[in-house]
Structure 1
């Protein structure tokens, strides 16, 4: 009797863990069709997003005029996605889940947006988690701590700024959310990054893979192009201190990504850069492109094609990866018809 009862309990457990290999899908796939992010969007302009590297509960920060604003402010929403290992079906919504741990860890991201906002335009946010993106050493020593770069025209033209809530937590031992007080991690007042800024418009900063350079957009030469600022060696937990004080940093236009048109909104993940451009040969307006880093230079830009681009404007692409998926999630903004109004945020699965 006891043996029968044990087997009756064991079999469902094995099925749930897929030890018997009964599940058909061991990896998910982000659907390639372009889909509006729905309730994430408003009837006003929503674009220029960023999302740090999390699992399937993704904090999304983007610029919006929602509420009838005349200027763009940063707002925060949450994306949740999953796939069925039995059917392979993919689902995505903006109804936060994941338990108290997730809510607590992501709570300060809303404070970052609030600290960055002004009565002028805040555009092109770029958010990194110290614990997940910058250190990646297996210790939760910087739980719920973030570095936010963004651009604002509060002084008349777009300049790049930095805010953070880094705290000097000991790095030689792991700590848990239960021993970390989130409320004592406020964000610092935004500081400009003079080595990136000029009398022209400068924005959309993004680090390369190993944080040896910051790529950004500028029209300092007359039209918008992508520039690279090569950084000295800086420890991840010293970025918030050193970046605002840097001088004499080499800044150059990236020739491989240049064109006769304008090129904007770079975002780098691993060896891939994605951006928008109205260069000749596109499908109309601004199109999305990508390029690959080969160790010394970027490959010739590739248009994402008509499945992503339209005759309208596609803007600020970002990439999100998850090792449990066979491809990457592309999030971008577009003013194509069928949205809620103005620019909306969209998503699509891409293989790069």
Structure 2
């Protein structure tokens, strides 16, 4: 009887163990090969990504000229879930359907306020320490692209009902693609400043000198960023040293890495993607991401996200009109090293 019980217990443990997945891969890895974001792409143009993490899901906001939204670029959002299979090492992205939560409802309301008959590009969002959710983007309603701001407050009194157009440079120039950075600041997808540092600088592009260059503006200590951005008198933009004699465009900063697009000589064709790191108080000389990521077509508006201990590398998303896509510009993703 004793031996039968022992055999039965052994069999049960064997069966139970077989019901649980085998952990072969303790950490995930975003693919080193450029991969199409098929669940987002259409035969039209999809560009310019921003992410917001909500309870294991991610709200992806991007520009699209899909005809349902008119013959122009609007900002649209989709809730995406992604998972890493520790048994076989596969990474899965899927669109989340069904009931939406309060976060996605508020974002839909915010995008409804933002979208109009003009082109909306370059979304960038962050949460301030006071709880306000700030959405930056560019709009060309006046014939030139200007950076605009929409703020959802924690109370209706704090919310700005209209989209404020911001002007940092000369009146006859385009200004686009705002992003924030600072020594201790990292845009961690819907974490407030008080949780991961306060932004110290605003970065954007302008063609004030006839071509697109990357500029930065100091944000004074102790001020609310969204309030500071409304005061034109405070702005003293200066060019970054990484600019070239060509177009340097569509920058985004994540931690101490700056990624951008440029059509400078020495690339693989059209706009290529480059990166620079912030070291010893300055940006290092830009490095081309190489033929693993760039092509003979245009690669544009890169953004970097998801520095997490469960993944070995970072996730970079960008748009490209390379052959093999669904049409026009498509969104792609690829893994890049953390350091």
TM-score range, shorter chain: 0.7 to 0.9
In structure 2, do the counterparts of structure 1 residues 121 and 50 end up closer, same or farther at CA, with 3 Å as the change threshold? same
Q: Name structure 2 gaps, 5 residues minimum.
A: 1-7, 186-198
Q: Name structure 1 gaps, 5 residues minimum.
A: 136-140, 169-182
The equivalent of 1:284 in structure 2 is 269
TM-score (norm 1): 0.81
Instruction: Tell me the alpha carbon deviations over residues 210-261 of structure 1, each in whole angstroms, 9 at most, x when there is no partner.
Output: 31111001000111010001111245xx333332135232210111x21121
Q: Secondary structure at the match of 1:275?
A: strand
The CA distance in 1 between the partners of 2:97 and 2:200, in whole Å, is 34
Alpha-carbon distance, 1:109 to partner: 1.6
TM-score (norm 2): 0.84
Select the structure that is richer in helix.
Answer: 1
Q: Secondary structure at the match of 2:303?
A: strand
Kept in 1, the 8 Å contact 2:34–2:292? The answer is yes
Instruction: Tell me the alpha carbon deviations over residues 146-202 of structure 1, each in whole angstroms, 9 at most, x when there is no partner.
Output: 21001111122111110011125xxxxxxxxxxxxxx99976311122336742000
Alpha-carbon distance, 1:86 to partner: 2.2
Q: Secondary structure at the match of 1:293?
A: strand
Kept in 1, the 8 Å contact 2:170–2:208? The answer is no
Q: Secondary structure at the match of 1:276?
A: strand
TM alignment of 1:1-352, pairs within 5 A = 23-52=23-52, 56-67=56-67, 69-96=70-97, 103-128=101-126, 130=127, 134-135=128-129, 142=131, 146-168=133-155, 188-195=161-168, 198-209=171-182, 210=185, 211-235=199-223, 238-255=224-241, 257-323=242-308, 324-352=310-338
The CA distance in 2 between the partners of 1:161 and 1:213, in whole Å, is 17
Select the structure that is richer in strand.
Answer: 2
Q: Secondary structure at the match of 1:105?
A: helix
Q: Secondary structure at the match of 2:326?
A: coil
In structure 2, do the counterparts of structure 1 residues 58 and 39 end up closer, same or farther at CA, with 3 Å as the change threshold? same
CA RMSD of aligned residues (A): 3.1
Misfit runs of 4+, over 4 Å: 53-56, 183-187
Count matched residues.
Answer: 316
Kept in 2, the 8 Å contact 1:160–1:197? The answer is no
The CA distance in 2 between the partners of 1:310 and 1:65, in whole Å, is 23
In structure 2, do the counterparts of structure 1 residues 254 and 322 end up closer, same or farther at CA, with 3 Å as the change threshold? closer
The CA distance in 2 between the partners of 1:198 and 1:321, in whole Å, is 37
